Each structure stands twice: as structure tokens, then as C-alpha cells.
């Protein structure tokens, strides 16, 4: 597959989109990223459900599942194992913040190659960079995967050392929230804690799957405010998202964890 | 002039731009809005200086003033009195938050018609809607006119009643910050207070001009945290931006102010 992503804009192989799109002007839209295996999107019902919920939270009418699936089938062959990203924006607008009374959302479906994650991220786990960029509190937008992602961009700009697989982000109160591109779980015995995302952060589909599946591997999940010192006292810490599945976090700042079993167990139940 | 905005993308009359642009994907860019009178941008040195400062704050190299001015001169004739908006994004990127090591910023220069503000906004002042959407605190982005503007979009979606000229926005702590599309000044005798913008809000060029010019009309400016009850106790409240100049705020919630002189005085000194 070519390294440059391919894309469809509103179902067409267009070269470009209008700069009047409100996604560009205001970040007025939402997105999803997920794996496509042999032409089929993985966990599509969950991703579509989350896309609809995120659109609805900011008052955008989400394109139908059929329309999006048609785009995916035009863009990916049955031999493609790759990454898809879907952006849905409120559509074109005139100057000014007021959403037009009648809007026609724009959708872009992208295809790009699976990132080349080192095998050892799966087998041995990863090191996280502790980001200085703190997430602000905005309960109206918390949990939503919207296009206002400058905080993530600033956080990801803090380091270039490739030995860090991702960055750990706290909020302005010092609570642990997430990785820049993944959600977090911390295990304490048979309890699995995950940061509350009612003030900031993105509530990912894989996080929800882990919450739903935890009892099947004997764990009880708690969604709670989590301070850094609590995270550091966990028996194991695992990061999850739709591309990586689950990786163990082996170190952050001076803290190191021994190799654990949770990431493997989660990858197994997630892939079933 | 046609109602639909015209635009140049990187100096070309292109129909569209790449959906790989990081402005669309992450709101990774900044913008300016200003008047163009008979083909000439008003307060161009101030707007360009602010564009450079905002780009620099998020690590984007701003296109040169010459390049942007050339775009403006191609887009506007010497007969055009209109609005220009400039967007500068970090440019095209691959999937993922990490800014590419080498980026080429994208610039879009728009031309659109001046809004048809009712004359009475200038002569009699305006009513503001009190928005429920509260601004979050993010000191790293405060003051910058960046493309992450979902809070403004949500705030502007709260009302449709055209008798409100703009919305008043508070932050999550209850401080008065700004209008959705303008900055605020409150006069108490010879003191002019303007909300501090070190946690949120956009520090506009016209706000800075008023701060610089206030002493010429016998006023002392204080940049401070401003509670709602303090705002309501002001002798006069005025909103300012580059398109409107200055309008008196005549009412918000149940509070009404008598007609005052400040908005007129400010419009006069601003236009000199």
C-alpha cells in the first residue's frame, strides 16, 4: 500500500475540500480511527455508535452507517489490512460561529498503512513520556473525539526521543487522564481502575470494550479520579486503543513496573 | 460582491484543499479576521504581528507579510470594501498528533461581504445573550486565536433570537471573559476594566488598540479578573472587535444601561 493516505470526500475521489468547511475553521466536527482487516472494519458497530453519539453531542447529524460502509468498501479491497479514519464535520458555513440553520455534513474516509509498531511493544511493553501540557476541563466536550485537538498536538510536540511510545497526560488539577492517543487502565489486585472522563479526555471504544469485558477475566472496573501517586502504586498499568489493542506501560518518569500478564489477557479478550 | 466568499489557497484560486491538512484534523492553526477598505487591510501591521505571535505560540512558522499582502492584493480590488479572513495551518501531516519534522504551512485568504449590521447597533447599542457554555482554562492556548473554537460554536448555538447581537461568555470559575466574537471593556468613572485573558479567551487586536489609546481619552485601563456582578455595576460596557469597532452593550439578562458616550469615543479614536 502507498505510504500516502488515500481518501474519499463525500464518497468521491476528490482532490480537495472547500476551505469554508467548519471542520477546518472551528474544529467543528468529530472523528474515528479504527483497523480494517481484509477489507472489513473491526468493531464497526461500536465505532459507528460512538460516531453517532459524538456527532449528536455537538448537534451534527451523522451520515448513515450504510453510506459510510459504502465509502469503506470503495476505499479498501478485501486484501487491505490497514487503518481507516473517518472525519464528519458540520459542513460548509458562512463566516461566523452560528451554525447554519440547514447544514449538510461533510464526511472524509481515509485509508492509511498500519503503523509499524515494534514487536516489543506487545511482548515487553512501553515507556511513556510524562507530558507537561495539562488537559483543560470542559464537561460539555469531555469524552467526545472532536476535532479540537491542539492540546494533544502540544503534548506530542514535547518530545522527539523515539524510545517513548506515547505521552501520559494529566489534567489541570493533576489527575491522570489518558495517553495522547490511548486510554489507561491501572490494576490493583482484582480491581481495574480507569480515569473518569467527565471533565476532559476521549472515551475510546476500546476503553468501553475493556469495561464491558473485564468481569470475564475476573476483574472489577472502577471509573474514578486517579492521582499520579495512585497510578504509580498500581500493580500493572495498561494503555488501550483501537489500533494497538493493549500494551503494558513499563515505565513513566523514574517508576518501572515488572512484566505483567494483563496486557496479553486484554489483547486476547479484545480480539475475540 | 457575491455573497459566497472567494479565497486563495497558498496563493492559488484552487477549488479545494487536502483533507490531510492538520488544520482540519486537529484545529492545528490560527486565524485573523479584519476589514479591507478600498483594497487595503485596516491595521495590517497589528494583524500581521498578532498572526506571527499566535503562529509562534504553537510552533508554526508564519508566512511572510509580503506573501500574505500579495494574496490580499490579488483577491481584493481597490474598489472592494469587505472582510478578509486569513487561516494559517501547520500544513499537511501524516496520521498522528506528532507535528512532522519539516512542515510547510498552508495559508488560506478569504474575501467575504461586510456583515449588514443594523445602524442602531452603532447609534443605540446592543443586547447580549448570556451563554451557558463556559470557557475552559488552558493557559497554554489563552489569548491565541487558534482553530479550536468548538466552545464558541456551542455558545453561539444557544440562541436564534436575532435581537441579541452577540453572546456574553464566562469561564468555568464564573469570571466574565468576552463576547463570542468580541472583547469587552467596562467603565467605572475614569477607569476602564477589561477581563484578564491569561486562562482563556482571545486577545484581539482591537482590544490591544483600546488599551493603547485609552489614556488619550482620559481613561486608565486595568486588565483584571471580572465577576458578573462587577460587570453589571459598570457605568458603561462596550464590546470591540476589528469588524464592528465598538458597540455599547445596553443589556444583558435583566440589567439595562442608559445610553453612554464611550462606544462613540472609542470608535472615533480607533478609526484615527
Cβ of residue A110 closer than 8 Å to a chain B Cβ: yes
| B151-165 pLDDT tens trace | 999 999 999 999 999
> Which residue does chain A place closest to B20, by CA atoms?
A5
Residue A116 touches chain B, beta carbons under 8 Å? no
**Whole-number pLDDT of residue A14:** 82
Query: Residue A54: how many CB atoms within 10 A of its CB?
Result: 23
Q: Which residues pair with B143 in a beta bridge?
A: B202
Which residue in chain A is spatially nearest to B162 when comparing CA positions? A98
**What are the backbone dihedrals phi and psi of residue B119, each rounded to the nearest 5 degrees, phi first?**
-55, -35
Q: What pTM does this model have?
A: 0.97
What distance lies between CA A85 and its chain's CA centroid?
Answer: 10
Distances (CA, A) of B155 to A8, A48, B132, B170: 31, 27, 7, 10
Find the mean pLDDT for residues B181-195. Answer: 98
Pick the range with the lowest mean pLDDT from A201-205, B99-103, B107-111. B99-103
Q: Is the pLDDT of residue A269 over 90?
A: yes
Task: Report residue B4's pLDDT band, with 50, 70 and 90 as the boundaries.
Answer: low
List of chain B residues whose C-beta atoms are within 8 Å of the C-beta of residue A97: 149, 152-153, 155-156, 180-181
Residue A268's CB: how many other CB atoms inside 10 A? 13
Task: Indicate the residue of B19, B27, B172 with minimum beta-carbon distance to A149.
Answer: B27
Beta pairing class for A183-188 and B164-170: unpaired
Q: Which residues of B touch A58 (CB under 8 A)?
A: 150, 153-154
CA dist A263 and A251 (Å) reads 14
Query: What are the tens digits of pLDDT across the range A165-216?
Result: 999 999 999 999 999 999 999 999 999 999 999 999 999 999 999 999 999 9
Q: What phi-psi label fits residue A219: left (phi over 0), alpha (psi between -120 and 50 degrees) or beta?
A: beta
Q: What is the ipTM of this complex?
A: 0.96
Kindly indicate the confidence band of residue B93, based on its pLDDT and cuts at 50, 70 and 90.
confident
Residue indicated by cell numbers 456582578: B229
For the segment A126-153, what is each residue's pLDDT rounded down to a tens digit?
A: 999 999 999 999 999 999 999 999 999 9
CA-CA distance, B3 to A242, in Å (whole number)?
43
Helix pair A205-213, A262-271: axis angle to 10 deg: 100
Choosing from A145, A151, A158, A230, the catalytic residue is A145
Q: How many residue pairs from chains A and B have C-beta atoms closer than 8 A? A: 179
CB B61 within 8 A of CB B105: yes
Quick one: three-class SS letters along A127-175?
A: EEEECCCCECCCCCCCECCECCCHHHHHHHCCCCCCCEEEEEEEECCCE
Distance set, CA B132 to CA B136, B168, B232 (Å): 12, 9, 17
Report pLDDT digits (tens) over B15-51. Answer: 899 999 999 999 999 999 999 999 999 999 999 999 9
Q: Is B80 on the interface with A (CB under 8 A)?
A: no
pLDDT tens digits along A67-102: 999 999 999 999 999 999 999 999 998 879 999 988
Average pLDDT, chain A: 96
Amino acid at each position: 500500500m502507498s505510504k500516502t493516505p488515500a481518501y474519499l470526500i463525500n464518497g468521491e475521489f476528490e482532490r480537495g475540500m472547500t476551505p469554508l468547511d467548519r471542520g477546518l475553521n472551528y474544529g467543528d466536527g468529530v472523528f474515528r480511527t479504527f483497523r480494517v482487516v481484509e477489507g472489513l472494519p473491526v468493531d464497526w458497530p461500536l465505532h459507528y455508535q460512538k460516531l453517532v453519539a459524538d456527532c449528536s453531542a455537538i448537534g451534527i447529524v451523522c451520515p448513515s452507517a450504510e453510506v459510510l460502509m459504502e465509502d469503506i468498501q470503495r476505499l479498501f479491497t478485501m486484501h487491505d489490512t490497514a487503518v481507516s479514519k473517518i472525519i464528519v464535520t458540520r459542513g460548509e458555513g458562512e463566516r461566523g460561529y452560528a451554525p447554519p440553520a440547514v447544514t449538510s455534513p461533510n464526511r472524509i474516509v481515509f485509508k492509511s498503512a498500519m503503523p509499524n509498531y515494534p514487536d516489543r511493544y506487545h511482548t515487553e511493553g512501553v515507556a511513556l513520556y510524562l507530558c507537561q501540557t495539562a488537559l483543560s476541563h470542559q464537561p460539555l466536550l469531555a469524552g467526545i473525539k472532536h476535532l479540537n485537538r491542539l492540546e494533544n498536538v502540544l503534548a506530542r510536540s514535547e518530545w522527539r526521543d523515539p524510545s517513548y511510545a506515547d505521552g501520559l497526560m494529566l489534567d489541570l488539577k493533576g489527575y491522570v487522564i489518558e495517553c495522547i492517543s490511548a486510554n489507561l487502565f491501572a490494576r490493583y489486585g482484582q480491581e481495574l481502575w480507569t480515569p473518569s472522563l467527565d471533565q476532559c479526555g476521549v472515551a475510546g471504544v476500546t476503553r468501553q470494550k475493556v469495561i464491558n469485558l473485564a468481569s470475564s477475566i475476573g476483574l472489577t472496573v472502577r471509573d474514578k479520579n486517579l492521582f499520579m501517586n495512585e497510578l504509580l502504586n498500581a500493580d500493572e498499568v495498561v494503555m488501550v486503543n483501537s489500533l494497538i489493542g493493549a500494551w503494558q506501560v513499563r515505565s513513566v518518569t523514574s517508576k518501572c513496573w515488572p512484566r505483567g500478564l494483563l496486557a496479553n489477557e486484554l489483547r486476547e479478550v479484545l480480539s475475540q
